[in-house]
Amino acid sequence: MNNTIVILDGKGMNPGDLSWDKIKTLGNVKIYDNTPYESIVERAKDAEIVVINKSGFDKDIISKLPKLKFICESATGFDNIDIGFAQEKGIIVSNVRDYSTKSVVQHVFALIFALTNKVEYHSNEVKKGRWANNDYFTFWDFPISEISGKTLGLYGFGKIASEVAKIANSFGMNIIANRKNPAKGYPPYVTHADIDDLLKQSDILSLHAPQTKENLNFINKNTLALMKTNAILINTARGKMINESDLKNALDNQIIKAAGLDVLSSEPPKADNPLLHCSNCIITPHQAWTSVEARKRLLDGVVENISAFLNGTPINTVN
C-alpha cells in the first residue's frame, strides 16, 4: 500500500459511472480528471506508477520524474509516450488491448447508417410537422441505399477491422481489404486488394490502420481522386491519416459523397477546422471506444496491468 499511483486523465475512462475501488486497493491513489502538460511533473513527481491516456510523456517529462517505475497507458495506442527513452530509464510501459473492439465496431456501423439512412435528419423533419402536413403517407429527402451488395474496403486488418468484416459479411457486403502483411491472410469472405484497387472499388472505405509516418495524410487529394463519386469514407482510427483540407475540397466538389469521422487531426478540434461546417460530413467526438462496457474492460485492464507489475511479472508491455 506504499505505492503511489497517479491517474493523470481519468475522466475519459471513468467520468463517474464506474468505481475506482479496485485500483485503490493497489496503493495510494491520486486521481485527476485531466492534466495539462505543464502540470504533469508537479502532479506525478512522487509517483512510482502513473496511469495516462492522452498526457504527453516525452523525454523532458520522463527525465523529471526520477521515482517513476511504471507507465500504464489506459488505451491501446501509446504514441504519446517516448517509449525508447522510458526503456533507457528502466521504466516499464504497458497498454490495454482489445477492450474497445465491440464498441468501435458498433460505432463504425452507426456512422455508416447515419450517412445512408439519415435517421436523425428525418426524425427531426417529422417533429417539425412535415409528416403531419404531408399529402402522401411517406417522404424522404435523400436516396436511401442498401449496404447489401456494396463493396466495403478496409484499410488495415487488425482485430477491429476483422470484426467489422464479419458483420459486413452478415449484411451481404462484398469485402476487400489491404493489410501491411497480406501473408497473415483473411477470412474466406475477404479479398486482398492493393491500395489503388481498394480506393477505386470501395463504396464504403473504412480506415483501421495505426498511425505511422507512412500513413500520415494517407487520404489526400490524390487518393481521394481515385475513389468513386458515391463513396463514403469512415475513420475511427487516427485523424492525422486524413488531410482535412483535401477531404473538405473533395466533399464540397462531389469527388466523394460523404464522410463519417470519429477522429480529427487535432482533438478537440480548432474552431477553423475545415470539416466542422461541411454538410456531408458527420463528426463524433472520438467516442467510438466509450461504451460503458468498453470502459469497464479498460479499467479492469489497468488494474490487471498494475497488479502484474507489482507482482514482478508485468504484462502487456510495449517496451
Residue range of the domain that includes 303 = 4-99+292-310
Residue 111 domain-assigned? yes
Q: Looking at the structure, do residues 153 and 279 belong to the same domain, yes or no?
A: yes
Amino acid, res. 190: V
Q: Looking at the structure, do residues 160 and 269 belong to the same domain, yes or no?
A: yes
Report the CATH number that the domain containing residue 28 is assigned in CATH.
Answer: 3.40.50.720
Per-residue confidence (pLDDT) for residue 186, from 0 to 100: 97
| Nearest to 80, CA basis, from 238, 217, 234 | 238
Q: Looking at the structure, do residues 119 and 245 belong to the same domain, yes or no?
A: yes
Per-residue confidence (pLDDT) for residue 1, from 0 to 100: 54
Do the Cβ atoms of 236 and 211 come closer than 8 Å? no
Count helices and strands in the chain by DSSP H and E runs: 11, 12
Question: Any residues with CB less than 8 A from the CB of 311 and at least 6 apart, and which?
Answer: none
Assigned C-alpha cell, 60:
523532458
C-alpha distances in Å from residue 1, one per residue of 31, 50, 69, 258: 16, 15, 16, 53
Q: Looking at the structure, do residues 109 and 241 belong to the same domain, yes or no?
A: yes
Query: Would the pTM of this model clear 0.85, i.e. be above it?
Result: yes
Residue 200 domain-assigned? yes
pLDDT grade, residue 35 (50/70/90)?
very high
Instruction: Give, in degrees to the nearest 5, the angle at Cα 239 between 99 and 112.
Output: 70
Question: How many angstroms separate the CA atoms of 70 and 306, rounded?
Answer: 8
pLDDT of 221-235, one tens digit each?
999 999 999 999 999
pLDDT of 199-208, one tens digit each?
999 999 999 9
Looking from the CA of 174 toward its CB, the CA atoms found within 13 Å total 9
Q: Looking at the structure, do residues 45 and 108 belong to the same domain, yes or no?
A: no
Q: Looking at the structure, do residues 172 and 106 belong to the same domain, yes or no?
A: yes
Residue 318 domain-assigned? no
Q: Looking at the structure, do residues 118 and 44 belong to the same domain, yes or no?
A: no
Residue 175 domain-assigned? yes
Percent of the chain with pLDDT over 90: 96
Per-residue confidence (pLDDT) for residue 290, from 0 to 100: 96
Residue 72 domain-assigned? yes
Per-residue confidence (pLDDT) for residue 249, from 0 to 100: 98
| Packing angle of the helix pair 101-116, 159-170 (nearest 10 deg) | 50
pLDDT of 139-173, one tens digit each?
999 999 999 999 999 999 999 999 999 999 999 99
Q: Looking at the structure, do residues 143 and 266 belong to the same domain, yes or no?
A: yes
Q: How many CB atoms lie within 10 A of CB 212?
A: 12
pLDDT of 250-296, one tens digit each?
999 999 999 999 999 999 999 999 999 999 999 999 999 999 999 99
| Nearest to 237, CA basis, from 269, 205, 268 | 205
Residue 316 domain-assigned? no
Residue 212 domain-assigned? yes
Q: Is 237 helix (H, G, I), strand (E, B) or coil?
A: coil
Which residues are annotated as catalytic?
A: 238, 267, 286
> Mean pLDDT for the chain?
96
Question: How many angstroms separate the CA atoms of 255 and 317, rounded?
Answer: 43
Q: Is the pLDDT of residue 22 over 70?
A: yes
pLDDT grade, residue 236 (50/70/90)?
very high
Place of cell 492522452: 54
Per-residue confidence (pLDDT) for residue 17, from 0 to 100: 96
Per-residue confidence (pLDDT) for residue 51, from 0 to 100: 98
Question: How many angstroms separate the CA atoms of 166 and 175, rounded?
Answer: 9
Q: Looking at the structure, do residues 224 and 161 belong to the same domain, yes or no?
A: yes
Q: Is the pLDDT of residue 39 over 70?
A: yes
pLDDT grade, residue 25 (50/70/90)?
very high
pLDDT grade, residue 247 (50/70/90)?
very high
Total count of domains within the chain: 2
1/11: higher pLDDT: 11
Per-residue confidence (pLDDT) for residue 152, from 0 to 100: 98
Q: Looking at the structure, do residues 234 and 119 belong to the same domain, yes or no?
A: yes
Cis (ω within 30 of 0) for the bond into 187?
no
Q: Looking at the structure, do residues 93 and 107 belong to the same domain, yes or no?
A: no
Q: Looking at the structure, do residues 263 and 137 belong to the same domain, yes or no?
A: yes
Per-residue confidence (pLDDT) for residue 2, from 0 to 100: 75
Residue 151 domain-assigned? yes
Do the Cβ atoms of 145 and 121 come closer than 8 Å? no
